[in-house]
Amino acid sequence: MDGDRAVQVSTEVRQAVAADHPGREKRVVGRAHRKVDAVAKVTGQTRFADDLFLPRMLFAKLLRSPHPHARIVKIDTRKALELEGVKAVLTGEDLPIPFGILPVSQDEHALALDKVRFVGDPVAAVAAVSEEIATQALDLIEVEYEPLEPIASPEEAIAKPEPRIHDYGDRGNFHKLIHLEFGNVEQGFAEADLVVEDCYFYQGSTHLPMEQHAAVAEWSPQGKLTLWSSTQTPHYVHRALSKVLQLPPSRIRVIACPNGGGFGGKSDPFSHEIVAAKLAMVTGRPVKITLTREEVFYCHRGRHPTLMWVKAGVKRDGSVTALHFKSLLDGGAYGSYGVASTYYTGALQTVTYQVPRYKFQGARVFTNKPPCGPKRGHGTPQPRYALEIHLDKIAERLGMDPAELRLRHLVPPHSLTANYLRVGSMGLGECIRKVVEGSGWREKFRKLPYGRGVGLACSSYICGAGLPIYWNNLPQSGVQLKLDRGGGVTVYCGSTEIGQGSDSILAYVTAEVLGIDPFDIAVVTADTDLTPVDLGSYSSRVTLMTGNAAIQAAHKARDLLASAVAQKLDVPPSRLEFAGGRVFDVQDPERGVAFAEAVQLAEAAFGTICTVGSYTPPPAAGRYRGAGVGPSPAYSYSAAVAEVEVDPETGIVRVPTIWIAHDVGQCINPVTVIGQIEGSVYMGLGEALMEEMVYRANRNLVHKIPSMLEYKSPTTLEMCDVVTYLVEDPDPSGPFGAKEVGQGPLLPVPPAIANAVYDAVGVRIDEIPITPEKVLKALKAKAKGDAGRFGPISFPEIPWPDPIRVPPPWEGGDGTAVGDKGRGAGGMRERRTRAGDYAGGEARG
């Protein structure tokens, strides 16, 4: 390819790319590129939050609770303050205003005010001239606690409404109770040829980003606060700082440094960020706080341990007549994203296979453990695990091939589901065919020798949440472009680079529209002073939303340039093409100007060339309470086949290979798409086989293994081979048709492995992680003639509220609940009118 002087991809990659891809030659989108930050990352130049060192910087440390549940009687900080080198000590009273990511769960304090709720809850903070002195000072803070009875598990939370961990929530220690019904499931079960019921458990796990959370705060005597942080959501941190510190947002600048991995674990505003900011304000010096790895385990916000009960009715051909799903989430000590997580455990069951009648009951309880929140897949890997194993069992009972069963009943593209999710492009069928063929499924399924097996599972994920986290009617993503008369373009966007390639996406799509090289584009992101709001790197929203916003901004710039160039060349603007760094007449490509000249012509004609674009998702189709969680501009689809080897002597499960196909709509950059798929498979493998957050029930609910050595995660030696198939079924909502890839491909991995274990040794492990002990127990039970199964056997009684009944579209429903006239979509925003109470605009300086 000629003319790509600056595309800094090695020629070797370039050649491999060009081969067999003739149609792609003139485009950026769909081709392999280096990420715009790749060179900085391989040379050590990327500055993560802990890499910042400011003059006169102090170091902060947090004193954390040793009790899982206790009242704070007294805190004495005098001795700590007397230690030489200590510059400030804070306690809860210094930061009394609560915060939290969701408007309905403003239940956290930067430092505990009157109560601690888990071992690791921050109680006091010290800033000192060195980390050592700050750590010493923590020992000098005297806290008198009055221990309260800890709530260790969901069962205990249900049994003991008192003591309440929080004074809000649906009742007792229930944080949230949900009951939704779309059509009459009992009728559906009556019509079924087969009804299958079972329980499943998905253990909690943590994100374990390689980078420990860090933040640096600086206060200018001018009255402005700057915070650099390893956060995925600078906009929400901005709002939380404004609320808690009582500063107007215009006096706060939040800069999200590139995250050294996030996976959802850096999506909440955190105590340490607020504390660093306050300490900088109090001392007048920059303050850095870097969590230890142990503290990262306490921050958590990881996968909710979830108990599930599934009842499915099917016809002989495998078509579902009704699905009833219950989930019970162990939320840990705070709300975090938990209300959304709870809804998500019931939202996406309907977007893969047709479900004509659907009932969901979800409950989240508070317990005295580190808070759970969003981890890659947010609330959906758990139900996906249950559902995909359940379908495997159903297929067996019906004597059908599990791949065939799924293929026969796929949700049609461009359709509405029972719970009013609008499905767009739907490439799941193609995904299933790819992995079935690639893995040699037909030759292997139920045919491999004892000890070896294959399993299949599918899934779907959202491409961004349809509704923002706090109620507003503003765009979810904004992009600003500045065109330099030398031909360079700068893209400004609030999105946050966490390794997924969001900075690069902005460059690629802008380059595609303007016909220039992505490496002639500078990208400025995640800085609340400089960049238009983007809500953050969560819910797989970034490519779709920032991509669309960037395309809109780029088209506006292109129109300006086209009109100026059209005048000069005396052709209609519609005849101009932007490609190869030129703007030219398509009918006479020789006639044209260099891109830089086009900018100059436009600048002369219209003044400085800056354009903006923004993206707002389409409104949700559902209008019942709870309809706010699940709608998305588009859904990605994945299918996976896992091959396993199970040693019946030891119970050890090895996974040599996973075949995975992912419908990404359209690859923007296939190399990064594959990277996200491989990374998702890796994380799913870890959850399937080894990762778990466990606590010492008999010793104060202390985290059992808050270290990287003991919290098992896959190393190179456990990681499987991955064969990836990219399926491109462009979605009209996506930028150039693109859908998400960062989270969805994790989902089919655990159930595919569980189904493969069954194929290998004939036992069902209905509980994640699939450890050797569980496999052995199931094998022993089977040998004794019992059910060859390991997993939960019952779901507790829960005081469910009355159901919200919403007739599905095919029963004449219009998305509203029975007896409820035109209520807005919501679920997380019951206290909508109060959301403004803490909105940035209302804070006082």
Partner 1 sequence: MARRAEPPGHAHISLEVNGEPVEVSFPPHKTLLEVLREDLGLTGTKHGCELGECGTCTVLLDGQPVLSCLVLGVAAAGRKVKTVEGMARGPELHPLQRAFADLGAAQCGYCTPGILLAAEALLERNPRPTRQDIKEALAGNLCRCTGYIKIYEAVELAAAWMRGEDAAPPEESIYGRR
User: In the complex, which residues of this chain contact ligand FES (CB under 6 A)?
Assistant: 210, 261, 499
Our finding on whether 724 is near partner 1 (CB under 8 A) is yes
Q: How far is the CB of 463 from ligand FES (least distance, A)?
A: 22
Q: What is the 3-state secondary structure (H, E, C) of 425-448?
A: CCCHHHHHHHHHHHHCHHHHCCCC
Among 26, 27, 164, 293, binds partner 1 (CB under 8 A): 293
In the list partner 1, ligand FES, none, the entry touching 679 (Cβ below 5 to 8 angstroms by class) is partner 1
Among 3, 5, 6, 15, binds partner 1 (CB under 8 A): 15
Residue closer to partner 1 by CB (options 283, 680) is: 680
User: CA-to-CA distance for 491 and 520, rounded, in angstroms?
Assistant: 11
User: CA-to-CA distance for 622 and 616, rounded, in angstroms?
Assistant: 17
Residue closer to ligand FES by CB (options 418, 673) is: 673
Q: How far is the CB of 18 from partner 1 (least distance, A)?
A: 10
The residue whose Cβ lies closest to ligand FES is 210
In the list partner 1, ligand FES, none, the entry touching 675 (Cβ below 5 to 8 angstroms by class) is partner 1
User: Which H/E stretch holds residue 688?
Assistant: helix 670-689
Q: How far is the CB of 210 from ligand FES (least distance, A)?
A: 4
Residue closer to partner 1 by CB (options 82, 191) is: 82
Our finding on whether 38 is near partner 1 (CB under 8 A) is yes
Residue closer to ligand FES by CB (options 611, 676) is: 676
3-class DSSP assignment, residue 508: helix
Residue closer to partner 1 by CB (options 661, 770) is: 661
Residue closer to ligand FES by CB (options 597, 678) is: 678
Q: How does DSSP assign 61-72, residue by residue?
A: EEEE-SSSSEEE
Return the residue matching tokens 């920032």.
Answer: 546
| Contact by Cβ (8 Å): 664, 727 | yes
Residue closer to partner 1 by CB (options 724, 771) is: 724
Among 501, 631, 633, 813, binds partner 1 (CB under 8 A): 501
Q: How far is the CB of 321 from ligand FES (least distance, A)?
A: 45
Our finding on whether 426 is near partner 1 (CB under 8 A) is no
| Cα 212 to Cα 207, 264, 299, 322, 355, distances in angstroms | 11, 13, 10, 45, 42
User: CA-to-CA distance for 816 and 809, rounded, in angstroms?
Assistant: 10
User: CA-to-CA distance for 170 and 586, rounded, in angstroms?
Assistant: 64
In the list partner 1, ligand FES, none, the entry touching 51 (Cβ below 5 to 8 angstroms by class) is partner 1
Residue 85: count other Cβ atoms within 10 Å of its Cβ.
16
Q: How far is the CB of 361 from ligand FES (least distance, A)?
A: 38
Our finding on whether 165 is near partner 1 (CB under 8 A) is no
Our finding on whether 37 is near partner 1 (CB under 8 A) is yes
User: CA-to-CA distance for 137 and 114, rounded, in angstroms?
Assistant: 21
Q: How many Cα atoms within 13 Å fall on the side-chain side of residue 737?
A: 15
Q: How far is the CB of 232 from partner 1 (least distance, A)?
A: 11
The stretch among 4-12, 231-239, 548-556, 761-769 that binds partner 1 (CB under 8 A) is 4-12
Residue closer to partner 1 by CB (options 212, 540) is: 212
3-class DSSP assignment, residue 556: helix
Residue closer to ligand FES by CB (options 371, 745) is: 745
Q: How does DSSP assign 332-370, residue by residue?
A: -SS-TTHHHHHHHHHHGGGSSB--SSEEEEEEEE--SSS
User: CA-to-CA distance for 718 and 492, rounded, in angstroms?
Assistant: 40
Return phi, psi of residue 358, to 5°: -145, 135
Our finding on whether 793 is near partner 1 (CB under 8 A) is no
Listed residue (268, 128, 285) closest to 217, CA to CA: 285
| Contact by Cβ (8 Å): 412, 426 | yes
Our finding on whether 438 is near partner 1 (CB under 8 A) is yes
3-class DSSP assignment, residue 253: strand
**Judged by CB under 8 A, how many residues of this single chain contact partner 1?**
83
Our finding on whether 10 is near partner 1 (CB under 8 A) is yes
User: Which H/E stretch holds residue 290?
Assistant: strand 287-290
Q: How far is the CB of 675 from ligand FES (least distance, A)?
A: 9
Residue closer to ligand FES by CB (options 261, 413) is: 261
Our finding on whether 498 is near partner 1 (CB under 8 A) is yes
| Residue 539 one-letter amino acid | S
User: CA-to-CA distance for 806 and 800, rounded, in angstroms?
Assistant: 17
Among 201, 441, 461, 725, binds partner 1 (CB under 8 A): 725
Among 35, 253, 541, 625, binds partner 1 (CB under 8 A): 35
Listed residue (466, 493, 609, 496) closest to 550, CA to CA: 493
Our finding on whether 210 is near partner 1 (CB under 8 A) is yes
| Cα 632 to Cα 282, 467, 468, distances in angstroms | 43, 8, 11
User: CA-to-CA distance for 814 and 810, rounded, in angstroms?
Assistant: 10
Our finding on whether 261 is near partner 1 (CB under 8 A) is yes
Cβ within 8 Å of residue 622, ≥6 positions away = 419, 420, 421, 630, 631, 806, 815, 825
Q: How far is the CB of 622 from ligand FES (least distance, A)?
A: 37
Our finding on whether 48 is near partner 1 (CB under 8 A) is yes
Residue closer to ligand FES by CB (options 44, 412) is: 44
| Residue 320 one-letter amino acid | V
User: CA-to-CA distance for 373 and 332, rounded, in angstroms?
Assistant: 9
Q: Are strands 489-493 and 521-525 parallel, antiparallel or unpaired?
A: parallel
628-687 residues in contact with partner 1 (CB under 8 A) are 670-672, 674-675, 678-683
Return phi, psi of residue 374, to 5°: -95, 120
Residue closer to ligand FES by CB (options 574, 715) is: 715
Among 6, 707, 773, 820, binds partner 1 (CB under 8 A): 707
Structure tokens at 281: 């304000």
Q: How far is the CB of 476 from partner 1 (least distance, A)?
A: 23
Residue 703: count other Cβ atoms within 10 Å of its Cβ.
22
The stretch among 69-77, 125-133, 469-477, 835-843 that binds partner 1 (CB under 8 A) is 125-133
Q: How far is the CB of 499 from ligand FES (least distance, A)?
A: 5
Residue 306 is classified by DSSP as E
The stretch among 82-90, 233-241, 546-554, 789-797 that binds partner 1 (CB under 8 A) is 82-90
The stretch among 15-23, 94-102, 182-190, 366-374 that binds partner 1 (CB under 8 A) is 15-23
573-632 residues in contact with partner 1 (CB under 8 A) are none
Our finding on whether 140 is near partner 1 (CB under 8 A) is yes
Residue closer to ligand FES by CB (options 41, 699) is: 41
Residue closer to ligand FES by CB (options 210, 697) is: 210
Structure tokens at 339: 């209300």
Q: How far is the CB of 372 from ligand FES (least distance, A)?
A: 22
Our finding on whether 723 is near partner 1 (CB under 8 A) is yes
Residue closer to partner 1 by CB (options 409, 703) is: 703
Structure tokens at 158: 């249900």
User: CA-to-CA distance for 808 and 46, rounded, in angstroms?
Assistant: 50
- The four Cα atoms 553, 554, 556, 560 give a dihedral, to 10 degrees, of 140
Our finding on whether 133 is near partner 1 (CB under 8 A) is yes
In the list ligand FES, partner 1, none, the entry touching 85 (Cβ below 5 to 8 angstroms by class) is partner 1
Q: How far is the CB of 7 from ligand FES (least distance, A)?
A: 23
Our finding on whether 694 is near partner 1 (CB under 8 A) is no
CA 286 distance to own-chain centroid: 31
Residue closer to partner 1 by CB (options 258, 628) is: 258
Our finding on whether 726 is near partner 1 (CB under 8 A) is yes
